[in-house]
Amino acid sequence: MKTVLYPERSGWEALCKRPGIKKSDLESAVKGIIDGVRKDGDDALLYYSEKYDGVKLDTLKVSVNEINEGVSQVSDGLRKAINIARSNIEKFHQAQLTEESPVETQKGVKCWRKSVPVEKVGLYIPGGSAPLFSTVLMLGIPAKIAGCSEIILCTPPDKNGKINPVILYTASIIGVKNIFKTGGAQAIAAMAYGTASIPAVYKIFGPGNQYVTKAKELIQQDGIPIDMPAGPSEVLIIADNSADPEFVAADLLSQAEHGADSQVVLVTDSKELPGKVNNAVERQLSELPRKDIAAKSLGNSMMIVLKTMDECMDLSNKYAPEHLIINTINSKELASGVMNAGSVFIGSYSCESAGDYASGTNHTLPQMALPGISAECLLKASRKRSHSRSLHRKASEI
């Protein structure tokens, strides 16, 4: 990883620029897919599944038998880990169900806000190199707690026309039963406009590749609400000399392996830390199953040395990371200065992987942390890093 020593403030803006993403012109291709689904419904979905997923399907809906078969294939160890994650996520989100008392703004005038569940929601779960069963928890549990009466889940099948068993297990334990074998832009179009098999929903949630994101943007312009368009994932770590370089390296790598377009950044006041972290990154990288992806992402990444911790926080606020890890001696105090970040992890045992899977906070944040988005914090995680890292591995290995 590239190290930048004591950059001038005038150069921070350039440092905070994300690696250029080739905005390939997907619009006409994705428009074509959406139009196809609106015109030909299920036939279009079956056609695209053959074209993009490489499988000729008979039906789109996952049958009860298929769900049962998938559920039976999940190991006890993974079931246990998923159940712990589920319990924590439920606790955290249940606490968000609050009711506001009316405010009497003047005599006889009572005003209040009331949250009402979206009746029909569509959840998109990517397939591909890492089936995101954790995202089933992150989207499905809040939908259940909110009281959404109809929950649809779309995810692409593999070449044998199967859905990953862990996705089926996770959906089944939270009570999501309407699962459809369709992915990409065509899945988004199906949930937006409905087909004979797939009911139209009122709002669509979930991450996805460039095609999925473009499809979500296009249906949003047509008046169907979405969560937010997703971009590449990223982490920024603020660390000082008290941080264990092995922990910092593991945290950088756990994000780098998300995708070749991810960016990971270390900001520190220690001139020694970058060298130690670099060594640890190289050693740990060689053991990673997704080392090719992580290595590419590290090419977009950097370690920045600044003079003080306050400067480190200023730079982080300017960068506005999706995930921020604060691994310093005074992490709690430093965290009070966070102005722009998505999910914040406070303390040397609070790693992003914990939030990605099991601490209870939600990982379906805006991929690019927008100013003013609620920061979610995790404090004093006493569980050992190794635990969350093993969970993380699970995701890559399935």
Which residue, 156 or 206, is less far from a copy of itself as judged by CB? 206
User: What is the token pair recorded at 6?
Assistant: 């004591």
Q: What is the contact mask toward a copy of itself in residues 32 to 51, using x (rule: CB under 8 A)?
A: --------------------
Which residue, 81 or 295, is less far from a copy of itself as judged by CB? 81
Known catalytic residues are: 322-323
Q: Is 380 in the site for a copy of itself (CB under 8 A)?
A: yes
CB of 14 to a copy of itself, least distance (A): 15
Helix (H) or strand (E) segment spanning residue 24 = none
Residues 185 and 164 sit within 8 Å (Cβ to Cβ) = no
Residue 141 CA to residue 145 CA, distance in Å, equals: 6
Task: Select from 24, 286, 374, 386 the one that contacts a copy of itself (CB under 8 A).
Answer: 374
Strands 203-205 and 178-181: unpaired
Which residue, 81 or 293, is less far from a copy of itself as judged by CB? 81
Q: Is 14 in the site for a copy of itself (CB under 8 A)?
A: no
Task: Select from 158, 375, 387, 393 the one that contacts a copy of itself (CB under 8 A).
Answer: 375
Task: Select from 31, 383, 387, 393 the one that contacts a copy of itself (CB under 8 A).
Answer: 383
Q: How far is CA 292 from CA 257, 259, 299, 308, in A?
A: 8, 10, 11, 34
Q: What is the contact mask toward a copy of itself in residues 217 to 256, using x (rule: CB under 8 A)?
A: x---x-x-x-------------------------------
Residues 120 and 146 sit within 8 Å (Cβ to Cβ) = no
CB of 63 to a copy of itself, least distance (A): 29
337 exposure class (CB count in 10 Å sphere: 0-12, 13-18, 19+): middle
Which residue, 24 or 374, is less far from a copy of itself as judged by CB? 374
Residue 46 CA to residue 214 CA, distance in Å, equals: 21
Helix (H) or strand (E) segment spanning residue 142 = helix 133-146
Residue 135 CA to residue 395 CA, distance in Å, equals: 11
CB of 270 to a copy of itself, least distance (A): 27
Task: Select from 186, 376, 391, 395 the one that contacts a copy of itself (CB under 8 A).
Answer: 376
Residues 142 and 174 sit within 8 Å (Cβ to Cβ) = no
Residues 170 and 357 sit within 8 Å (Cβ to Cβ) = no
Residue 320 CA to residue 16 CA, distance in Å, equals: 9
Query: What's at 386, amino acid-wise?
Result: S
Which residue, 157 or 360, is less far from a copy of itself as judged by CB? 360
Helix axes 210-221, 184-193, angle to 10 degrees: 30
210 three-class SS: helix
Residue 23: phi, psi to the nearest 5? -85, 80
Q: What is the contact mask toward a copy of itself in residues 158 to 197, using x (rule: CB under 8 A)?
A: ----------------------------------------
Could you tell me which stretch among 37-45, 51-59, 289-297, 356-364 binds a copy of itself (CB under 8 A)? 356-364
Q: Is 107 in the site for a copy of itself (CB under 8 A)?
A: yes
106 three-class SS: strand
Task: Select from 198, 243, 354, 391 the one that contacts a copy of itself (CB under 8 A).
Answer: 354
Q: What is the contact mask toward a copy of itself in residues 124 to 163, using x (rule: CB under 8 A)?
A: ----------------------x-----------------
Task: Select from 308, 382, 386, 397 the one that contacts a copy of itself (CB under 8 A).
Answer: 382
Task: Select from 255, 278, 359, 367 the one that contacts a copy of itself (CB under 8 A).
Answer: 359
Which residue, 294 or 320, is less far from a copy of itself as judged by CB? 320
Q: Is 112 in the site for a copy of itself (CB under 8 A)?
A: yes
Contacts with 223 (C-beta within 8 Å, 6 or more apart), sequence order: none
Which residue, 308 or 374, is less far from a copy of itself as judged by CB? 374
User: What is the token pair recorded at 211?
Assistant: 């095609």
Which residue, 101 or 386, is less far from a copy of itself as judged by CB? 101
Residue 239 CA to residue 243 CA, distance in Å, equals: 6
Residue 154 CA to residue 169 CA, distance in Å, equals: 15
Return residues touching a copy of itself (CB under 8 A). Answer: 84, 87-89, 91-92, 95-96, 100-103, 105-120, 146, 202-203, 217, 221, 223, 225, 338-340, 354, 359-361, 368, 370-372, 374-383
